[in-house]
Amino acid sequence: MSLEWVAAFFRDADMVEIDKLAAWFADDIELRFANNPAIRDKATAVQVMSQFYDSISGMSHSVETLIGDGEAAAQQAIVTYTRKDGGVVPLPVSSYLRRNAAGKLDRLWIYIDIAPLWADAA
């Protein structure tokens, strides 16, 4: 089965435009980002991701590994973040994505140690 939808999701995510990201989310999405508690609704997930997007200037995923079964996928990548101060920070990340029957994400788990992104900024 094709996993092109995963690449399309990360292309949209890397645009750092909340409307593009939100279009992927099901109303009952379960979002886990770093070590934060799980979020289980679209409105809160969009709010949290919007705050994160507002804190950076850009990001870009470079895929290391992608596995999946068509409706679910796991990706390991290096995400290169650009901070508001112009600093560039590459970080390893593992993401698990699952789509519902409508093709919307009902699960997005993002495993990352985000602390290094802000380490030099203080």
pLDDT tens-digit map of 66-88: 999 989 999 999 999 999 999 99
Residue 9: pLDDT over 60: yes
User: In the prediction, which pLDDT does 121 show?
Assistant: 61
- Per-residue tokens: 72: 């679910």
- The secondary structure of the chain in percent helix, strand, coil, rounded to multiples of 5, reads 25, 45, 30
CATH code assigned to 4-119: 3.10.450.50
pTM of the model: 0.94
- Do 34 and 52 contact (CB within 8 A), yes or no? no
**Residues paired with residue 85 on neighbouring β-strands, in sequence order:** none
- Per-residue tokens: 27: 């109303």
Residue ranges per domain, the chain?
A: 4-119
Over residues 14-45, the pLDDT tens digits come to: 999 999 999 999 999 999 999 999 999 999 99
